Amino acid sequence: MNMVRIGDPVRRDEDYRLIKGHGRYADDVNENRQARAFVLRSPHAHAEIGHIDKAAALAAPGVLAVLTGDDLETRGLGAQFPNIRGKKSDGSPGYVCSMPILAQGRVRFAGQPVAFVVAESVDQAKDAVELIAVDYRVLPAVITADDALADGAPAVWDDNPGNEAYFHEVGNRQAVDAAFNDAAHRVSHRVCVNRVTGNAMEPRGCIANYDEYEDRYTLRATIQSAHGTRATLAQQIFKIPQTKIRVICDNMGGGFGIKGGCYPEYSLSMWASEVIGRPVKWIAERQESILTDEHGRGGFVDAELALDADHNFIALRTHTKVPIGAYFTTDRNIGAAVSGLGGLAGVYKTPNIHAMVTGALTNIMTNAQYRGGAKPEPCHVIEVMVDQAADQLGVDAAELRLKNTVLSSAMPYRTGLGHVYDCGDFVRNFEQCLETGGYQGFEARREDAAKRGKYLGIGLSNTVSGVAMVNFEHVEVRFDTEGGITLLCGAMDHGQGHETTFKQVLADKLGVDIDGIRYKMGDTDVVATGVGTFNARCAVFVGSAVTIAAEKIIEKGKRIAAHMMETAPGDIEYQGGTFSVAGTDKSLDITEVAKTAFQRPKLPADIEPGFYEHGEFGVGEGPVYPNGAHLVEVEIDADTGRIEITRYVAVDDAGVVLNPLLFDGQVHGGIAHGAGQILMEDIHYDDAGQLLTGSFMDYAMPRADDFCTFELAANEVPTARNPLGVKGVGEAGTVGSMPSLMNAINDALSHIGAPNVEMPATAEKVWRSIQAAE
């Protein structure tokens, strides 16, 4: 028997089959008579399309179909559009510009799909792509938000001069302006948040099959939301009932937000299967992924922090300019920039906050949520501004933070942006982090490093952000006629360990053997509904839904057990997988009750046969607020500018920890994501809109030897906003690591009089800063 409880360090069930190569990813599956597809992509960032000559490609060996924008118009497929369009700065509606699944008339970024070639083999499809002749007339391109919003900038869309897609603001502008007028100190800084991409181990891919007999499509793809993808395909692209599409995803080799969208290749593969009458597989190559996976983050934030004479924060204002790409085509393009703005308040008592965001259309790939879902950026901004203020005022950064931090006794606390923190002990997290990290002895370590030709820097962050903010999640617990258990889940797993975690919750609530539970997700024909995996929402929503379903199972089981043991339901107790009559030795195992539940003659008249229940849980009283403090020390080589992380401490409050092993794993991964962006990761276009970091030769990512050992701790402050008291941990490492590492680097540079650097803090950039000081 493998009896586990919530909080036990249970190893992931998934790992054994995955490390043996027994996973089932999109490219592991091959259908009978399957054809292969390859995409012809625009080589230009902005150009008009004249004639497309596909005759030679169609005549090439093995070619089955060549689809272009003209064919798309004939077929009449739609395009995605945002449900939240927002407004522009002049009050008019946001400028919606949907991206067709194949370019029509004009291309607006390098990599945009122009033609979709299907052949017997992928090599034949690639060869045929090279035979397609496209008449392009190159147009001027704008790449950065600043350039796009400048007076006289070339228009990405002719009917939208100025290139503004949307303007969003939160907070009280008048109150903030008044506070700044009364401020004793003002600190201004332009914070860079560079553009990155996810680089999941498994590139995007799909297999589509149109069944003419059923008039129905099946799509197997690497996606973070099976039901969400089906809804988009049905409602916006194909305009058919959702029942005519089945979407499947088994294993997924990493998501991080980049696989949350419904990409053109999925629709194209479905359409191509319809055209040729055979299954069609498309798998992205790595360079395609870097070029056309939705990018994350990006832009500049002009920030100002106001303080009174006693160094209390009295106001914060920011204006973020984000290059959203050439198309405002989904809610992801606006959500990636505005949905996490509450993080600007941080753990601090700042009473007045005003934030503005301008989304600028640019001739680059579109943006979307990336690990942290729009929260790392504002959390980074406030924590960088605190360090800027401490440096400018000549005070200790830790003391400035503690002076302004919300106390646990103030909970629930309403922030300057109106969000309500229900619980948390921000001071305890921070003080424990300082103590574990040896903050008081830092200056001695700095002096020792200097003797070795190293510049030592220390960086801090103390962050909080809201998660599980939207919608709900669904699970179903099914017992079969022999007492076997299947747990069905609407969320998707892309490395988090959902199978282990949610089986663990169910095993705890029912008191059953975890090995007797089968877990299934990612099939719209099997799981009734679901939203998907984003925003560190699954521990909160799915874990709570499992709890609710388990309670329903127990309640029905009590009624059946009472009938079986000839007593009143109120006399039945349940514990450890056993129904018993209170005060007696009469008992029944849950398996016996489950078997009986399928035998109609043995049930009372008012109980339906079967032993299965569903559970749904969604936003009730509000989101939950995971929070945590991070401390980083870095050594910078004086001669080369190379950065080495020498100490990393994190103390996080994710509420009740369901599984300590997976908790640590999520924090580890989040730290690597955040540190990668600060140190080296960068999506970089030249002035013509050509991606210069389009391969792993140019796009750098951290390796294990870029890190030291992480010292992690959990301060569990349960929330009352869900049955489990959980807050989520998937984003904690990224949110905390970005500002703490950036602050550590700039602390080392500031100490020698060198100017600050912005992400990515490459060795060359740091070396140049050192040279400027010398």
Residue 495 pLDDT grade (very low, low, confident, very high; cuts 50, 70, 90): confident
Contact 166, 95 (CB under 8 A): yes
Reply yes or no on whether the pLDDT at 1 is more than 70: no
In the beta sheet, which residues pair with residue 397? Answer: none
The pair of three-digit structure tokens given for residue 405, joined into one six-digit string: 């931090």
| Mean pLDDT of the 86-96 span | 97
Task: Give the chain's mean pLDDT.
Answer: 96
pLDDT recorded at residue 468: 86
| Mean pLDDT of the 640-654 span | 98
Tens-digit pLDDT profile for residues 302-311:
999 999 999 9
pLDDT recorded at residue 537: 87
Contact 593, 611 (CB under 8 A): yes
Reply yes or no on whether the pLDDT at 48 is more than 70: yes
Question: Can you point out the beta strands (E) in 517-559?
Answer: 517-521
Reply yes or no on whether the pLDDT at 26 is more than 90: yes
Q: Which helix (H) or strand (E) holds 434?
A: helix 426-436
Q: DSSP class of residue 757?
A: -
- The label of the residue with tokens 């996490």 reads 340
Reply yes or no on whether the pLDDT at 180 is more than 90: yes
Residue 533 pLDDT grade (very low, low, confident, very high; cuts 50, 70, 90): confident
Which value, in Å, is the radius of gyration of the alpha carbons in the chain? 28
pLDDT recorded at residue 652: 98
| Mean pLDDT of the 172-183 span | 98
Would strands 627-637 and 643-653 be described as parallel, antiparallel, or unpaired? antiparallel
What is the greatest pairwise CA distance in the chain?
Answer: 90
Reply yes or no on whether the pLDDT at 103 is more than 80: yes
Contacts of 207 (CB under 8 A, 6+ apart): 26, 29, 31, 34, 219, 220, 221, 269, 279, 280, 281
pLDDT recorded at residue 29: 97
Which residue from 493, 491, 495 is spatially nearest to 201, judged by alpha carbons?
Answer: 495
Q: Report in angstroms the alpha-carbon separations of 130 from 69, 127, 532.
A: 17, 5, 38
| Mean pLDDT of the 515-539 span | 93
Cα angle 291, 283, 45; round to 5: 25
| Mean pLDDT of the 665-673 span | 96
Tens-digit pLDDT profile for residues 717-726:
999 999 999 9
509: exposed, middle or buried (C-beta count within 10 Å: 0-12, 13-18, 19+)?
buried
| Mean pLDDT of the 423-430 span | 98
Reply yes or no on whether the pLDDT at 621 is more than 80: no
Tens-digit pLDDT profile for residues 204-259:
999 999 999 999 999 999 999 999 999 999 999 999 999 999 999 999 999 999 99
pLDDT recorded at residue 264: 98
DSSP code string of 18-46: HHTT----GGG---TT-EEEEEEE-SSSS
| Mean pLDDT of the 88-116 span | 98
| Mean pLDDT of the 546-574 span | 97
The pair of three-digit structure tokens given for residue 342, joined into one six-digit string: 């509450």
Residue 639 pLDDT grade (very low, low, confident, very high; cuts 50, 70, 90): very high
Contacts of 452 (CB under 8 A, 6+ apart): none
The pair of three-digit structure tokens given for residue 203, joined into one six-digit string: 């590139």
SS (H, E, C) 183-234: CCEEEEEEEECCEECCCCCCCCEEEEEEECCCCEEEEEECCCCHHHHHHHHH
C-alpha torsion sign, points 668, 674, 677, 679: negative
Contact 632, 458 (CB under 8 A): yes
The pair of three-digit structure tokens given for residue 588, joined into one six-digit string: 């029944």
